[in-house]
Amino acid sequence: MTDTPVPHEVPADQVAEGPPIQLPPSISDVEPVLSVRTPIRLEYDFIPSAAAQQYLRAYASKRILGNRSPVDGAVFVPPRGVDPRNGVVADEMVDLVDTGHVGSFCITHLPIPGRKDLPVPYVSAWIHLDGADIGFLGLVAGCAAADVRIGMRVRAVWKPDAELGATAENVLHWEPTGQPDVPIDEAGNRAWALKQSAAGGGEDA
């Protein structure tokens, strides 16, 4: 949340056009109300779930945890304690490596207000860790934006050890390893579909 002050007067060119308002004579000379401040403030004390707590604590020591589905073995990262495809509890924790590949990506040319540390263009990517069956979001840096591609192998660039904490911000970005790309037909969620059809299941493959 930002503390941007609420303007007391809306500039005329920002007021929606509409038919002129006919005020009753008794209030015709009263200054019109153009905005109302509603000073309700709602505060929440969030406690991460057990799965999220384990994940964040491990993340603080550069370990990445996932949950394995008891139904089809799919590994989900970050772990949420459930397998969302099958609607069942998934509490088996799996240690994952900090290398993977780009499943998909997006190059953004507009700056994020308040993020001066993020020069444009920046690359958001769906990072598929080796051993995980879904991707999770990260930044790709360490190469030109134009060189990022689906299937490109990457590794985590962690914050200095002294700055690590139980937060999602421990990985600064993901950088290319220079290893051969994952073939595009096997990259991202396609890897899971291939695994399923190889296993003889996967009506959804």
Partner 1 sequence: MREVAVVSSAIYQVEALTFTTDVQLMVPLINEARSAVGLTQADIGFTCSGSSDFLAGQGFSFVQTLDAVGAFPPISESHVEMDGAFALYEAWVKLQVGEVDTALVYSYGKSSPGSRRDVLAVQLDPYTVAPLWPDAYAVAALQARLLLESGAVSAEGLAEIAVRSQHHAVGNPNALRASAGATVAGVLSEPVVADPLRASDIAAESDGGCVVVLAAGDRARSLCERPAWIRGIDHRIDAHGLGVRDLTRSPSAALAAQMAGAGQDRLDLAELHGPTTSQEHILATELGLGADTVVNPSGGALAADTLMAAGLVRIAEAARRISSGGADRALAHATSGPCLQQNLVCVMEGE
Rule CB under 8 A: say whether 2 interacts with partner 1: no
Residues 175/102, Cβ–Cβ less than 8 Å: no
From 1, 12, 30, 36, residue interacting with partner 1 (rule: CB under 8 A): 36
Neighbours of 13 (CB within 10 A): 5
Rule CB under 8 A: say whether 50 interacts with partner 1: yes
Using CA atoms, how far residue 91 sits from 77, 131, 199, in Å, is 12, 17, 23
From 15, 23, 34, 88, residue interacting with partner 1 (rule: CB under 8 A): 88
Nearest approach in angstroms of CB 69 to partner 1 is 11
Write the CB contacts of 162 (distance below 8 Å, at least 6 apart in sequence).
Answer: none
Nearest approach in angstroms of CB 68 to partner 1 is 16
d(CA 69, CA 115): 37
Nearest approach in angstroms of CB 76 to partner 1 is 10
Contacts with partner 1: how many residues (CB under 8 A)?
A: 28
DSSP, collapsed to helix, strand or coil, labels residue 56 as helix
- Considering only residues 51 to 70 of the shown chain, the ones binding partner 1 according to CB under 8 A are 51-53
Rule CB under 8 A: say whether 84 interacts with partner 1: yes
